[in-house]
């Protein structure tokens, strides 16, 4: 600890979360702003609720950002000056990670945390050298793996060619990998990360903000409403939802995410999806909201009869949890973390990825059966409350920290 800093009470940890491209302050729905932003912000807050002191280190991407911002009591965001002070696509950030890591080392030398937890492979790479230099325990969460992305996207994968090698370096160099689902564990073992160095702590959801009770966004004149929420990138499968709509009469789909609403017309993915909608004859039944503030999301989810999560692949997938917490049935592709979170038939249905016919057939079955929708909604709410509340996720994360620190789990906070 920095001698100039007041010592923390016994059992209280000083925790550094590193999230190089995904700031907890970012608006959601952009190309590089999605589940990781939500996860880091919520985890930081939940750890602070347990009495710990958390600093989130993220890259400065605008010139007017202050050095440090208080996110809430117990959580501070540090804007790291690495690379240009403007938005840079995450796949072009690797050249700035040495600078990011040097800044972390300087900051941690002056105010040494008890433990560091990096999020995403470039954060892990930046954190590794600084943690080694200071003898600092380092845990890492990938959020997505380059091996999986390359397998699915092939030539469309825009990741730097060094990504997979760097991910292996991080997995072998950190003290513990905190995976988010069983599918990720299997992938990590195939990459050569020892199984005994991997633990599973899923992502969580705010069960008070995301609940069945609360405002409901207005709906159009059609009988049924489907909602697809998330980053507007091809792998999230919005084209599958739009194509499925041709087989779902009297139904519209609300696509939530992407650039701000006033920039939708210029967005390549929006243009592609509008072409898909025109070809399918459903252009009048597809609505794009653009990126939305986090506060609007629960009301949008509550407006759905069914929430769609048809990604080609999904490292974890927070949207199914948010929908389930709001008491809405989910139809999701049977991939990645969705195999863990969506219980078929208890909370929704799992379908093959990339199959509009299967998606339409499954959604049609739920739309025709209000009792099944109600049962799935209630089952999803129960599942989230029993497994995915942030208090539970923070406690499990704290346990992982304490195991790495070779200490008994702390007893601070409410747990």
DSSP secondary structure letters along 264-333: GGG-HHHHHHHHHHHHHT-GGGEEEEESB-GGGHHHHHHT-SEEEE--S--SS-SHHHHHHHTT--EEEE
pLDDT tops 90 at residue 191: yes
Specify the DSSP class assigned to residue 118: E
Output the CA torsion sign for 164, 174, 109, 116.
Answer: positive
CA-closest candidate to residue 277, choices 300, 260, 256, 254: 254
pLDDT digits over 197-218, tens only?
999 999 999 999 999 999 999 9
Assess whether the previous peptide bond of 345 is cis (omega < 30° from 0).
yes
Angle at 97 between CA 312 and CA 154, to 5 degrees: 25
- φ/ψ of 152, rounded to 5, equals -90, -40
Q: What angle do CA 333, 335, 341 make, to 5 degrees?
A: 85
pLDDT band at 414 (very low <50, low <70, confident <90, very high): very low
Mean pLDDT for the stretch of residues 192-199 = 96
Three-class SS state of 235: helix
Contact present, 63 and 85 (Cβ < 8 Å): yes
Model pLDDT, residue 35? 72
Average pLDDT, whole number, for the chain?
A: 93
Whose CA is closest to 159, among 249, 228, 93? 93
Q: In what order do the strands lie in the sheet with 330-333?
A: 286-290, 251-256, 224-229, 306-309, 330-333, 348-351
| DSSP H/E element including 53 | strand 53-59
Q: What are phi and psi of 411, to 5 degrees?
A: -120, 20
Same fold yes or no, 14-204+389-404 and 224-387: yes
- pTM for the structure as a whole: 0.87
pLDDT tens by residue, 52-82: 999 999 999 999 999 999 999 999 999 999 9
- For 55, the enclosing helix (H) or strand (E) is strand 53-59
Q: What does the domain layout of the chain look like in residue ranges?
A: 14-204+389-404, 224-387
CB of 288 closer than 8 Å to CB of 347: no
Predicted confidence band of residue 1 (pLDDT cuts 50, 70, 90): very low
- Give tens-digit pLDDT for 368-393: 999 999 999 999 999 999 999 999 99
Q: What CATH architecture does domain 224-387 belong to? A: 3-Layer(aba) Sandwich (3.40)
Q: What percent of the chain has pLDDT over 70?
A: 94
Question: Residue 392 phi/psi, 5° resolution?
Answer: -70, -40
Separation CA 12–CA 413 (nearest Å):
9
pLDDT band at 408 (very low <50, low <70, confident <90, very high): very low
Give pLDDT, residue 5.
52
Stated as kind and residue range, the H or E segment containing 37 is: helix 35-49
Among the listed residues 14, 13, 20, 34, the one whose alpha carbon sits nearest the alpha carbon of residue 80: 20
Average pLDDT of span 314-342: 96
Backbone dihedral region for residue 413 (phi beyond 0: left; psi -120 to 50: alpha; all else: beta)? left
Q: Encoding tokens for residue 129?
A: 């050298």
Dihedral angle computed from the Cα positions of residues 325, 331, 333 and 334, in that order, rounded to the nearest 10 degrees: 80
* CATH class name, domain 14-204+389-404: alpha beta
Distance between CA atoms of 54 and 43, rounded to whole angstroms?
A: 10
Q: Is the dihedral of CA 212, 213, 215, 221 positive or negative?
A: positive
């Amino acid at each position: 600890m920095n001698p100039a800093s007041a010592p923390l009470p016994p059992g209280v940890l000083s925790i550094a979360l590193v999230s190089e491209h995904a700031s907890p302050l970012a608006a959601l729905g952009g190309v590089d702003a999605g589940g990781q932003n939500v996860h880091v912000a919520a985890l930081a807050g939940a750890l602070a609720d347990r009495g710990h002191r958390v600093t989130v280190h993220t890259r400065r991407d605008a010139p007017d950002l202050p050095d440090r911002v208080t996110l809430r009591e117990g959580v501070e965001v540090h804007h790291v000056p690495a690379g240009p002070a403007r938005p840079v696509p995450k796949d072009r950030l690797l050249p700035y990670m040495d600078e990011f890591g040097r800044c972390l080392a300087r900051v941690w030398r002056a105010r040494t945390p008890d433990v560091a937890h990096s999020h995403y492979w470039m954060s892990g790479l930046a954190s590794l050298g600084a943690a080694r230099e200071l003898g600092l325990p380092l845990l890492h969460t990938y959020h997505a793996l380059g091996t999986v992305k390359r397998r699915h996207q092939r030539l469309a994968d825009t990741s730097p060619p060094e990504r997979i090698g760097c991910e292996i370096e991080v997995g072998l160099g950190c003290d513990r990998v905190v995976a988010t689902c069983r599918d990720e564990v299997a992938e990590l073992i195939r990459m050569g990360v020892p199984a005994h160095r991997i633990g599973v702590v899923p992502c969580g959801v705010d069960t008070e903000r995301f609940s069945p009770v609360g405002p409901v966004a207005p709906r159009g004149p059609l009988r049924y409403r489907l909602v697809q929420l998330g980053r507007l990138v091809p792998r999230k499968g919005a084209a599958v939802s739009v194509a499925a709509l041709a087989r779902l009469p009297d139904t519209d789909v609300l696509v939530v995410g992407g650039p701000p609403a006033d920039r939708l017309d210029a967005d390549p993915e929006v243009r592609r999806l509008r072409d898909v909608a025109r070809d399918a004859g459903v252009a009048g039944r597809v609505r794009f909201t653009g990126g939305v503030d986090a506060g609007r999301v629960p009301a949008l989810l509550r407006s759905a009869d069914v929430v769609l999560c048809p990604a080609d692949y999904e490292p974890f997938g927070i949207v199914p949890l948010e929908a389930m917490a709001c008491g809405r049935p989910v139809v999701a592709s049977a991939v990645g973390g969705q195999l863990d979170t969506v219980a078929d038939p208890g909370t929704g249905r799992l379908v093959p990825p990339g199959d509009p016919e299967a998606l339409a057939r499954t959604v049609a079955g739920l739309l025709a059966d209000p009792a099944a929708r109600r049962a799935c909604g209630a089952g999803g709410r129960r599942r989230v409350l029993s497994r995915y509340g942030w208090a539970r996720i923070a406690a499990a994360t704290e346990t992982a920290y304490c195991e790495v620190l070779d200490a008994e789990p702390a007893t601070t906070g409410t747990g």
